Amino acid sequence: MPTQSVLIPCSISKGMFSSEVAAELLIEGVSISLFADQSLIIDIGGKPHLKVTFAGESGKPQNKTVLLPSESFETGSRWVSVPEQLLVAA
């Protein structure tokens, strides 16, 4: 089964290396930050979006589980439950 990519809005700043960015996601009032390869940032209407992997239902109504490209600093995990309305088809 092929993996499906989706986009989630984020804010970005310079990463440690020239090919990466520090990305920050705001999900239900909680900040999730991680380093990601610059190629995973897609501009939509002048706003950066991070390309993540859709993983399925999350168990919470109207939320989906996604796999981040790297572990978040706050949780030490790559898995996060995201409100469906934040996700954009890649």
Region 73-81: mean pLDDT is 94
Task: Count the domains in the chain.
Answer: 1
pLDDT band at 1 (very low <50, low <70, confident <90, very high): very low
> Is the separation of the CB atoms in 22 and 12 below 8 Å?
yes
Q: Within a 10 A sphere around the Cβ of 69, how many other Cβ atoms? A: 17
User: What residues are paired with 32 via a beta bridge?
Assistant: 25
Q: Which residue has the higher pLDDT, 2 or 17?
A: 17
pLDDT digits (tens, 9 = 90+) for 30-56: 999 999 999 999 999 999 999 999 998
Range of the domain at 36: 4-89
Residues contacting 18, CB < 8 A, separation 6+ = none
Using alpha carbons, list the distances in angstroms from residue 32 to 68, 72, 76. 10, 6, 10
> Is the separation of the CB atoms in 4 and 55 below 8 Å?
no
Please tell me the predicted confidence (pLDDT) of residue 90.
86
pLDDT band at 2 (very low <50, low <70, confident <90, very high): low
